[in-house]
Amino acid sequence: MGLSEAGLQSGSAVPEVSIIVPARNEEASLADCLQSLAEQSGVAHEIIVVDDGSTDRTGEIAASFAGVRVIGPGPLPAGWTGKNNAVVAGAAVARGQWLLFTDADTVHLPGSLARALAEARDNGADMLSYSPEQIAVTFWEMAVLPVVFAELAREYPPKKVSDPASTIAAANGQYILIRRDAYEAVGGHRAIASELLEDVALARAVKNSGRKLRFRYAADAVRTRMYRNFRQLREGWTKNLALLFPRPGWLAVSSLLLWGIPLGGLLAAVTHRGWPLSAFAATGLVATGHRLSRANFTWDMEVLGALFGYPMFAYLLLRSKARHAHGGVSWKGRTYGVEASRNDAGNWKPATGN
Contact 338, 328 (CB under 8 A): yes
Q: What is the pLDDT of residue 11?
A: 38
The bridge status of strand 222-224 relative to strand 133-134 is parallel
Q: What is the pLDDT of residue 294?
A: 84
What is the separation of C-alpha 261 from the centre of its chain, rounded to a whole number of angstroms?
31
Longest dimension (CA), the chain: 77
> Of 64, 56, 8, 9, whose CA–CA distance to 33 is shortest?
64
Q: What is the pLDDT of residue 341?
A: 35
Q: What is the pLDDT of residue 172?
A: 96
Q: What is the pLDDT of residue 227?
A: 92
Q: What is the 3-state secondary structure (H, E, C) of the chain?
A: CCCCHHHHHCCCCCCCEEEEEEECCCCCCHHHHHHHHHCCCCCCEEEEEEECCCCCCHHHHHHCCCCCEEECCCCCCCCCCHHHHHHHHHHHHCCCCEEEEECCCEEECCCHHHHHHHHHHHCCCCEEEEECEECCCCHHHHHHHHHHHHHHHHHCCHHHHCCCCCCCCCCCCCEEEEEHHHHHHCCHHHHHCCCCCHHHHHHHHHHHCCCCEEEEECCCCEEECCCCCHHHHHHHHHHHHHHHCCCHHHHHHHHHHHHHHHHHHHHHHHHHCCHHHHHHHHHHHHHHHHHHHHHCCCHHHHHHHHHHHHHHHHHHHHHHHHHHHCCCEEECCEEEEEEEEECCCCCEEEEEEC
Determine the Cα–Cα distance for residues 251 and 242; give it in Å rounded to an integer: 10
Determine the Cα–Cα distance for residues 34 and 28; give it in Å rounded to an integer: 12
Determine the Cα–Cα distance for residues 344 and 26; give it in Å rounded to an integer: 34
Q: What is the pLDDT of residue 281?
A: 57
Q: What is the pLDDT of residue 292?
A: 86
Count of CB atoms situated within 10 Å of the CB of 170: 23
CA angle centred on 339, ends 146 and 321, rounded to 5°: 30
Determine the Cα–Cα distance for residues 17 and 45; give it in Å rounded to an integer: 5
Would you kindly state where each structural domain of the chain is located, as residue ranges? 5-132+172-228, 242-330
Q: How many CA atoms lie within 13 A of 30 on its CB side?
A: 26
Q: What is the pLDDT of residue 258?
A: 82
Determine the Cα–Cα distance for residues 70 and 59; give it in Å rounded to an integer: 7
> Of 139, 194, 206, whose CA–CA distance to 170 is shortest?
206
Domain 5-132+172-228 has CATH 3.30.70.2390: no
> Of 55, 3, 53, 60, whose CA–CA distance to 30 is shortest?
60
Q: What is the pLDDT of residue 339?
A: 46
- Phi, psi dihedrals of residue 197, rounded to the nearest 5°: -100, 65
Per-residue pLDDT of the chain (354 residues; tens, 9 = 90+): 444 443 333 334 789 999 999 999 999 999 999 999 999 999 999 999 999 999 999 999 999 999 999 999 999 999 999 999 999 999 999 999 999 999 999 999 999 999 999 999 999 999 999 999 999 999 999 999 999 999 999 999 999 999 999 999 999 999 999 999 999 999 999 999 999 999 999 999 999 999 999 999 999 999 999 999 999 999 999 999 999 999 999 999 999 888 877 676 666 656 665 556 555 555 666 667 778 888 889 889 988 898 899 999 999 999 999 999 887 888 888 888 764 333 333 333 333 333
- Predicted structure pTM score: 0.87
> Of 259, 244, 234, whose CA–CA distance to 316 is shortest?
234
